Amino acid sequence: MAELLRSEHCGIQFGGLRALHDISIRIAAGELLGMIGPNGAGKTTFFNLLTGVYRATSGVIFFDEHGLEKLKTFQISHLGMARTFQNIRLFADLTVVDNVLVAFHYQMKSSLGASVVRGEKWRAEEISWHDTARELLQFFGLWERRHELAKNLPYGDQRRLEIVRALATRPKLLLLDEPAAGMNPTEKNQLIGLIRMVHQKFQLAILLIEHDMSVVMSLCPRIIVLDYGEIIAEGTPQEIRNNPKVIEAYLGTAPVNYVTSN
Amino acid sequence: MNLYYLQIINMIGINAIMAVSLNLIIGHTGQFSLGHAGFMAIGAYGSAAFTVYQKAFFLKLFSGLPPSLAESLLFLVALIFGGTLASLGGLLVGIPTLRLRGDYLAIATLGLGEIIRVLVLNLDFVGGARGFTDIPEYTNFFWIYLILTIVVVMMTRLVHSAKGKAFLAIREDEIAASSIGIDAFQYKIIAFVVGAFWAGIGGGLFAHLNTYLHTNSFSFLKSIEFIGMVVLGGMGSVTGSILAASLLTLLPEVLRVASEWRMIIYALLLIVFMILRPQGLLGKREFKWLLPKHPKGKNG
């Protein structure tokens, strides 16, 4: 499969703190890759690096054959990378449908001036984007709530709306930052189904960061494990599960057993 | 009509233009600017200088037309000239300051607004510290309310469109807005330039209503007065801005009966308003009849 994203020896340093070190990963088009690691391992920092919120202090990142080092967040989005946030960042005081409409921004042909003049062309385009927003929202079961403010949605719907908003930018790569955070087991199962469905229907690559092992294990054929800003393991769920380094990172070292049995 | 009432009605219109234009910057885009009086000053002095110094030329150029029509043309061009100057000012102020956020932006625009005022104070051809006198009286009720209508139509259409929602998205969450491909800096600049343009037009109307200008009218206290209108009306509500502009222009006049207690009562009333309705008179709501009709109709 064609390579979509490649990071080579990426690192970022905040003063004396080495948040990420020597991260080299590849994501193929259409792949579903998981990234796990304990709290503070640098997962979200890696997302912020990919999306241009932070700059790498070493190494390079290529996305769809474009170097990302000089690009700003909005330009990276234009290349086809979209994300959700660990702490939901919806446009709280906008309605559900507006949250989606605004994400078509880059794809819209009409200028701002056209929305003041409101000619026939503008009208036609506005209507067609509304139809697209409806399709998306109906697919995710949010159309009935379209006129509600995003902040008034229940938690699970807010998570879903954030995914819809990201999908509205037509990404080639979707970054999901701990989508299962704060969910109970039933909601987690629904989320697993949702991500699987998104992956199939929208034909995109997904990089899933999760704190929760079960979600990643059941979704991702390939998993990368991060600890203290470094990659400590990579492989299939089976390999990761049995990797002693991973077990150590999550559970700590086994206490030395002084009582020897004869 | 009684001239006193007419003057108040005219000032309501001008203040409404100022509040609605500032609402684009503060209420819709969420950028706290304290320099609006500075942009108003540029427009006021720019357009006044234009009418005063170009009047003879214009009357000669349009000597075929009746003089009143030629003067109306002169006024229109002067207003646009003042607005354009102000929007250039907005661009110049915006480029360095809009990289700042929140309170830093407020302080920077406050400083730059005062710089504009002091610069004008030292320009001799617009009167300097003596004030700019003998500006022709061109502004009237029709000019003011025609322009207010244009501003309101433009602002509501701007933000009630899929593309214009980008302003609101930046106010709500700049990082999220960038993550979906919105160039936040560009939109903040657009808001600043458009807001400053209409502030400049408002200044031009003010100049040709009063026929006399002094930089004291454009101190940062004036900016704060406009911010008060936007906040009291409800940040992001165009109708709220108009309502609050009317109220805050009327109140000091109505309170004249209280003579020396006037400003104390005015201040107390403001405090009571903000305690009772911290979200502003209208919050983020609008009067529906004022909004552009959606192309999809009600079910969109």
Reported as a single tens digit per residue, the pLDDT across B145-157 is: 999 999 999 999 9
Q: A256 pLDDT exceeds 70?
A: no
B-contacting residues of A 28-57, CB under 8 Å? Answer: 51, 53
Task: Report the number of distinct structural domains present in chain A.
Answer: 2
List of chain B residues whose C-beta atoms are within 8 Å of the C-beta of residue A85: 175-176, 179
List of chain B residues whose C-beta atoms are within 8 Å of the C-beta of residue A102: 162, 165-166, 168-169, 177, 180, 182
Residue A16: the pLDDT is: 85
Whether residue A177 sits in one domain with residue A260: yes
A130-134, B20-24, B32-36, B66-70 — which is least confidently predicted? B66-70
Whether residue A234 sits in one domain with residue A127: no
- Give A238→chain B minimum CA distance, Å: 34
Whether residue A97 sits in one domain with residue A50: no
Contact check, Cβ <8 Å, B166/A118: no
Whether residue A74 sits in one domain with residue A111: no
Torsion sign, CA atoms A115, A118, A121, A124: positive
- Output the 3-class SS for chain B: CCHHHHHHHHHHHHHHHHHHHHHHHHHHCCCCCCCHHHHHHHHHHHHHHHHHHHHHHHHHHCCCCCHHHHHHHHHHHHHHHHHHHHHHHHHHHHHHHCCCCHHHHHHHHHHHHHHHHHHHHCCHHHCHHHCECCCCCCCCHHHHHHHHHHHHHHHHHHHCCCCCHHHHHHHHCHHHHHHCCCCHHHHHHHHHHHHHHHHHHHHHHHHHHHCCECHHHHCHHHHHHHHHHHHHHCCCCHHHHHHHHHHHHHHHHHHHHHHHHHHHHHHHHHHHHHHHCCCCCCCCCCCHHHCCCCCCHHHC
List of chain B residues whose C-beta atoms are within 8 Å of the C-beta of residue A108: 162-163
Chain B residues interacting with chain A (CB cutoff of 8 angstroms): 153-154, 157-158, 161-166, 168-169, 172-173, 175-184, 190, 284, 292, 295-296, 300
Reported as a single tens digit per residue, the pLDDT across A210-243 is: 888 888 999 999 999 999 999 999 999 999 988 9
Residue with tokens 């509600």: A148
State how far the Cα of B113 lies from the Cα of B34, in Å rounded to an integer.
7
Could you tell me if residue A87 is inside a domain?
Answer: no
Could you tell me if residue B171 is inside a domain?
Answer: yes
Reported as a single tens digit per residue, the pLDDT across B23-57 is: 999 999 999 999 999 999 999 999 999 999 999 99
Whether residue A196 sits in one domain with residue A164: no
Buried b (16+ CB within 10 A) or exposed e, B177-211: bbbbbbbbbebbbbbbbbbbbbbbbbbbbbbbbbe
Task: Report the number of distinct structural domains present in chain B.
Answer: 1
Q: Cβ distance B106 to B33 under 8 Å?
A: yes
Mean pLDDT of all residues in B274-290: 81
**pTM of the entire structure?**
0.91
Q: Which of these three, A169, A185, A210, is where a domain ends?
A: A169
Whether residue A186 sits in one domain with residue A200: yes
Contact check, Cβ <8 Å, B162/A126: yes
| DSSP code for A259 | -
Could you tell me if residue B294 is inside a domain?
Answer: no
State how far the Cα of B63 lies from the Cα of A125, in Å rounded to an integer.
47
Residue A1: the pLDDT is: 66
Q: Closest to A74 (Cβ–Cβ): which among B164, B165, B183?
A: B183
Q: Which of these three, A134, A169, A204, is where a domain ends?
A: A169
Instruction: Report the percentage of chain B scoring pLDDT > 70.
Output: 98
Whether residue A112 sits in one domain with residue A57: no
Whether residue A103 sits in one domain with residue A62: no
State how far the Cα of B289 lies from the Cα of A64, in Å rounded to an integer.
48
Decide if A89 touches B, using CB distance below 8 A: yes
Q: B298 pLDDT exceeds 70?
A: no
Whether residue A190 sits in one domain with residue A74: yes
A106-110, A219-223, B264-268 — which is least confidently predicted? B264-268
Contact check, Cβ <8 Å, A105/B166: yes
Whether residue A182 sits in one domain with residue A73: yes
Contact check, Cβ <8 Å, A85/B190: no
Residue A259: the pLDDT is: 58
Decide if A234 touches B, using CB distance below 8 A: no
Q: Which domain holds residue B62?
A: 3-219
Pairing assessment for the beta strands A3-14 and A17-28 based on DSSP bridges: antiparallel
Could you tell me if residue A200 is inside a domain?
Answer: yes
Reported as a single tens digit per residue, the pLDDT across A179-204 is: 998 888 888 999 999 999 999 999 99
Q: Which domain holds residue A103?
A: 92-169
pLDDT band at A258 (very low <50, low <70, confident <90, very high): low
Q: Which of A73-77, A183-187, B284-288 has the highest mean pLDDT?
A: A73-77
Residue B25: the pLDDT is: 96
Residue B1: the pLDDT is: 65
Whether residue A98 sits in one domain with residue A157: yes
β-strand partners of A83: A175
Q: A260 pLDDT exceeds 80?
A: no
Reported as a single tens digit per residue, the pLDDT across B133-185 is: 999 999 999 999 999 999 999 999 999 999 999 999 999 999 999 999 999 99
State how far the Cα of B182 lies from the Cα of B185, in Å rounded to an integer.
9
* C-alpha pair distances (Å), B14 with each of A181, B19, B141, B202: 51, 9, 10, 6
CATH number at residue A209: 3.40.50.300
Q: Which of these three, A120, A150, A169, is where a domain ends?
A: A169
Reported as a single tens digit per residue, the pLDDT across A14-49 is: 888 889 999 999 999 999 999 998 888 899 999 999
- Give me chain A's average pLDDT, please: 91
- Give A3→chain B minimum CA distance, Å: 22
Could you tell me if residue B258 is inside a domain?
Answer: no
- Give me chain B's average pLDDT, please: 91
Could you tell me if residue A107 is inside a domain?
Answer: yes
Q: B108 pLDDT exceeds 50?
A: yes
State how far the Cα of B88 lies from the Cα of B265, in Å rounded to an integer.
39
Distance of CA A228 to the CA centre of its chain: 20
Whether residue A177 sits in one domain with residue A62: yes
Instruction: Report the percentage of chain A scoring pLDDT > 70.
Output: 96
Residue A255: the pLDDT is: 61
